[in-house]
Amino acid sequence: MKFCSECAHPVALVVPEGDNRPRHVCAQCATIHYENPKLVIGSLPVWESDGELKVLLCKRAIEPRAGYWTLPAGFMENRETTAEAAIRETEEEAGANIELGPLYTLLNVAYVHQVHLFYLARLRDLDYAAGIESLEVRMFSEREVPWDDLAFPTIRKTLELFFADRLKIREGGSYGFHSLDITRPMRSAGQSTDP
């Protein structure tokens, strides 16, 4: 940040009185511009028929990580709930109509100042279509998932947990809720420092 969003005066990075870390502070109107982590919210849409389970993934049309596969997800907007954000992002990116299930993963991505949340979801039908931020949307069984071409570590982790839980469910277990920390970006072709 270079200029105050309240009065357009240049800001300086200083530790405000009573605070313990540097903030962008306006020398003219004294506004302290706090910067806090952002929430990225998405869903893990599932379709099951004839005993075969598939998950819906979107091929990203936009940077970062254009051309790589992701679960439908995006930044939470003001005035919406986390569940509303998950449904909206799934509709926008995949044109998919879901019944939202329980919150499934919470992943801290502290190195990019983000927290990612994914809900389990059931596809109501197969009338999905790529939205403006997607090149392609399709269903994948576990063995079809493009593991080497996933966009972000939070996507990989959420899918890994899902298929591992899936095995336990056959033995009477449940999906449960997973909270974990991602400490480094994906390592694959087309290096990116984004989550």
Q: Which residues bind Zn ion (CB under 5 A)?
A: 4, 6-7, 9, 26, 28-29, 31
Question: Least separation, in Å, of the C-beta of 43 and Zn ion?
Answer: 39
Closer CB to Zn ion, residue 9 or residue 38? 9
Question: Least separation, in Å, of the C-beta of 9 and Zn ion?
Answer: 5
Full 3-state SS string of the chain: CCECCCCCCEEEEECCCCCCCCEEEECCCCCEECCCCEEEEEEEEEEEECCEEEEEEEEECCCCCCCCEECCEEECCCCCCHHHHHHHHHHHHHCCCEEEEEEEEEEEEHHHCEEEEEEEEEECCCCCCCCCCEEEEEEECHHHCCHHHECCHHHHHHHHHHHHHHHHHHCCCCCCCEEEECCCCCCCCCCCCCC
Question: Least separation, in Å, of the C-beta of 33 and Zn ion?
Answer: 9
Closer CB to Zn ion, residue 1 or residue 7? 7
Closer CB to Zn ion, residue 33 or residue 88? 33
Question: Least separation, in Å, of the C-beta of 5 and Zn ion?
Answer: 8
Closer CB to Zn ion, residue 4 or residue 109? 4
